Amino acid sequence: MPIPILIVEDEIFIALEMRRILEQHGYHVAGVAADMTEALSFAHSGIGLALVDLNLRDGLTGPQVGALLAGKHQTAVVFVTANPRLLGEGVAGTIGVLTKPVDEKSLLLTVEFALARYRGQPADVPDCLSCFG
């Protein structure tokens, strides 16, 4: 069974495009969340990977969402943002950041890498992804 992916993005067209790309390539997108409350409502449903924007409908809550999903729920987290500098040295427990705008190839390479890490498998870091730590 595919590992469920959560897209945490308040720009609906970006979220839907990410969902379309992932599902077209056989990934299971469990849902789209536009704010912290919606994102955390998915936490207990076994999300394996969360793609998290920083600025959500409820403000700059993406870093908190990522930290909670990674820390409390063992979810692999990759931030997807146009403002990677807002993350400074990174968020503990999360993988890294993919800078917007994101093309299809970069998204797929990043998801493949993050899911391999989630499964504990070795994988090469794609050039498009800036890993923390």
The partner residues of 77 in beta bridges, in order of sequence, read 50
Q: Cα-Cα-Cα-Cα dihedral of 28, 32, 35, 37, to 10°? A: -70
pLDDT at 133: 75
Segment 5-62, tens digit of pLDDT: 999 999 999 999 999 999 999 999 999 999 999 999 999 888 999 999 999 999 999 9
- Residue ranges making up the domain that contains 20: 4-131
pLDDT at 102: 95
* 39 contacts 69 by C-beta, under 8 angstroms: yes
Segment 90-112, tens digit of pLDDT: 999 999 999 999 999 999 999 99
Q: How far is CA 125 from CA 24, 33, 96, 115, in A?
A: 23, 26, 10, 12
What CATH number is given to the structural domain containing 29? 3.40.50.2300
Question: What's the predicted TM-score (pTM) here?
Answer: 0.97
pLDDT at 69: 97
Q: How many domains does the chain have?
A: 1
CB atoms within 10 A of CB 24: 10
